[in-house]
A and B are shown apart, each in its own frame.
Chain A
Amino acid sequence: MTSVAGRVRRFGPLVSRIAAALFGGYALAALASVAVLALPMSTPQAVLTGEMASFLVYAAAVLWVFAVRSALRAWAGLLVVAAPLLLAAWSVW
């Protein structure tokens, strides 16, 4: 039992970071690509801009997740950026 708990304590944060990078990063990138539609430009241009920018957002999110001191901070950072993007995306969906 204790060894299982020990394992969770040891690998839990790493697994959490990997999940934040893979799925959190993608979600943030997807959110950004939709949020771009709120910008004052024609829809096709905004769609393409969002698609092109999304990969840079994704890459930056992954780097952030592994650069900060803890898994908790990694998730917090993603959420802080996601909040305004979510608002913008909400307005256009």
Chain B
Amino acid sequence: MTTDQQARPDGRGLRQSMSDLHTWVGLLLGWVLYAMFLTGTVSYFKDELSQWMRPELPAQSGVPDQAVVAQRVADELVALVPGSPQWSLRLPDARNNSVYAFWRTAGAAPGQRGFGEGNFDPATGQTVSSRATLGGDFFYRFHFQFHYMPVVWGRWIAGVAAMFMLVAIVSGVITHKKIFVDFFTFRWGKGQRSWLDAHNALSVFGLPFHAMITYTGLVTLMALYMPWGQQAGIKTAADRQQLNAELSAFIQPGKPSGEKAPLASIEDMVRHAQERWGRDGVGRVTATHPGDAAARVAVARGDGGRVSMSPQYLEFEGTTGKLLAVHEGVGPAAETRGVLYALHLGRFSDLVTRWLYFLVSLAGTAMVGTGLVMWTVKRRQKLPDPARPHVGFHVVERLNIASIAGLSVAMAAFLWANRLLPETLAERANWEIHSFFIVWALTLLHGVLRPAKKAWVEQLWLAAALLALLPMLNAATTQRPFWRSLADGDWVFVGMDLMCWALAALHAVLALRTLRHQPKTRPARKTVNKPAGGAVLREG
């Protein structure tokens, strides 16, 4: 410390600079980051959430034969979208009981949406007859592109927020002098110090994860954020194709021959891939110009069983089923990117790893949340008149309520909307999403109108109640109540009900603690106390 201070005549050490940086970088986009962290955290169970949100689809007892399913859905797509220049289907696996497919529409006029998508039943090949919902994909998409705005804007906001987070993490570590010792320090019921200790423990415990998830998040969209190298180095279509092959198993449609020819057996092609990657190891089948003599089919490996998202796929001639090429390796940088990407998504993980991901990510969410709350706790003590805080304090306090407690309420409301909105409602899937945002806006209104503490307690109780009652709502509105799921060994539904109760308990505990909390309103710390007080602040 002393050397720092000697080097700086104004008496501001490196640690103090980093502390200020940490505080303001963390605050400025903290609310955005909190929402990204929480919706991203639940996205580790997005496939399970999607299953829960489509209760009409029966629980999957085992993974069906992917080769048979691929043929079935491919036949359906050939009939459904004839002349499509490209379609791609994601095969069912241990976590997905439906086949998600998307396709380009033939001859879409400029300005028209050139894509279609749908979910198909693996058992029949038909479009699934479940309620219209985006399912867990809503939280997943929201966590990196938000909503009600062009996708690119949302992704840029997420990128800026992630960059702020990266800076906040590194400056936080520099700020934090006794990072190891303080991990074992917890001062309960000591106001600001308890918040600081909680923030430190949550941060340090998951530090490698938080740093990894933030950095890898940027890597997932790096071509958008840093396009300059590509613009400088990739000049021709061939260059572009070469780069693309390093990143993605989606083969791009070339020129059709114009000569009609049916696709060869997709089942045989997938069988071929199964021999290579195992029975459930196939991820995706993509066809370009199906029905044309120039058709190509790519059968890509799934995300499970390997910690990399780099493309591995077999390329077949569409009309004969002849294996044209095996793509199983990419360059070192592309492989690094594949691993970083996979680490972010965590799709390789088994059940235990997935839960670990979820819990540490939840700790990351709490890290952002405690940091936001600490900003107000620290400043409330120094307010000249705690009953009449200045505008900045007021804004932060109210935004904290809506973005932390309010988000829980809104997310629970989204699930309630899934069970309550009539199936015949036009734009039903969108109305689930509108419900989420309407409720979230109401929590902000409530947070502004009510006294701060009451608003916190009421919203936490509301979230607890919505979560606790969700299994009851599920029992009342579907054929899959808790007891039946348990009897049938339907672990997705059992897990969802248990999770709701666990999260309800968590919110109830937070509500009770907030209710009992007595803020210490002491006057601003005297400058005489500076050495001791300063040390704490510096670490905050």
Flag A20-31 by CB within 8 Å of B: 1 or 0 each. Answer: 000000000110
Distance of A41 Cα from B21 Cα, bound (Å) = 37
Tell me whether chain B's interface is mostly helix, strand or loop, or mixed.
helix
Say yes or no: is B226 at the interface (Cβ < 8 Å to chain A): yes
A43 CA to B167 CA in the complex, in Å? 29
Residue contact B233 to A92, C-beta cutoff 8 Å = yes
Q: Which residues of B contact A93 (CB under 8 A)?
A: 232
Interface residues of B in 215-235 (CB under 8 A from A): 215, 218-219, 222-223, 225-226, 228-230, 232-234
Within 8 A of A (CB), among B137-177: 163, 166-167, 170-171, 174
Which residues of chain A come closer than 8 Å to B163, judged between CB atoms?
A: 55, 58-59
Interface of A, secondary structure class, is helix
Q: Once the chains bind, are B167 and A62 in contact (CB under 8 Å)? A: yes
Asked if B242 and A44 make an inter-chain contact with CB atoms under 8 angstroms apart, the answer reads yes
The verdict on B18 contacting chain A, using a C-beta distance below 8 Å, is yes
Contact with A34, one of B18, B21, B219, B232 (Cβ below 8 angstroms)? B232
Of the listed residues B222, B239, B242, B246, the one surrounded by the most CB atoms of chain A closer than 10 A to its CB is: B222
**B239, A43: Cβ atoms under 8 Å?**
yes
Contact of A47 among B170, B219, B243 (CB under 8 A): B243
Interface string of B417-428 (1 = CB under 8 A from A): 000000000000
Stretch from B329-337, B356-364, B404-412 that touches the partner: B329-337
Tell me if B166 and A52 are in contact (CB < 8 A).
no
Q: What residues of A have a CB within 8 angstroms of the CB of B218 in the complex?
A: 55
Question: In the complex, what distance in Å separates the CA atom of A47 from the CA atom of B171?
Answer: 28
Whether the pair B234, A43 counts as a contact (CB closer than 8 A) is yes
Indicate whether B77 reaches chain A with its CB closer than 8 angstroms. Answer: no
The closest CB in chain B to the CB of A51 belongs to B222
Q: How far is the CA of A16 from the CA of B490 in the complex (A)?
A: 59
A49 and B230 alpha carbons, distance in the complex (Å): 11
Contact B229 A46 (CB under 8 A): yes
Within 8 A of B (CB), among A31-66: 33-34, 36-37, 41-52, 54-56, 58-59, 62-63, 66
Size category of the binding interface on chain B: 35 or more
Instruction: Give the residues in chain B near A66, CB-CB below 8 Å.
Output: 17-18, 20-21, 171
* Interchain nearest-CB distance for B174 vs A (Å): 8
CA of A48 to CA of B14, assembled, Å:
33
A47-B167 contact in complex given A52-B219, A67-B18, C-beta closer than 8 Å: no
Q: A82: CB under 8 A from chain B?
A: no
- Cα of A66 to Cα of B17 in the assembled complex, Å: 6
Interchain CA distance A54-B18 in the complex, whole Å:
21
Whether B167 contacts A42 by the Cβ 8 Å rule is no
Chain B residue contacts of A43, Cβ below 8 A: 233-234, 239, 242-243
A33 to B393 Cα, complex, angstroms: 40
Determine if A55 and B166 form an interchain contact, defined as CB atoms under 8 angstroms apart.
yes
- CB of B464 closer than 8 Å to a CB of A: no
Shortest Cβ distance from residue A72 to the other chain B in the assembled complex, whole angstroms: 14
**Complex formed: what's the CA distance from A44 to B333 in Å?**
8
The 20 sampled A-B contact pairs (Cβ below 8 Å) are A33-B229, A41-B333, A43-B239, A43-B243, A44-B243, A45-B332, A48-B243, A48-B334, A49-B333, A51-B223, A51-B225, A51-B230, A52-B219, A52-B333, A55-B163, A55-B219, A59-B170, A63-B170, A66-B18, A93-B232
Which 8 pairs from chain A and chain B are nearest by CB?
A50-B229, A48-B333, A45-B333, A51-B222, A33-B229, A45-B331, A44-B243, A49-B333
B interface list, Cβ under 8 A from A: 7-8, 14, 17-18, 20-21, 163, 166-167, 170-171, 174, 215, 218-219, 222-223, 225-226, 228-230, 232-234, 239, 242-243, 246, 331-334, 336-337, 340
Instruction: List residues of A whose CB falls within 8 A of some B CB.
Output: 29-30, 33-34, 36-37, 41-52, 54-56, 58-59, 62-63, 66-67, 69, 89, 92-93
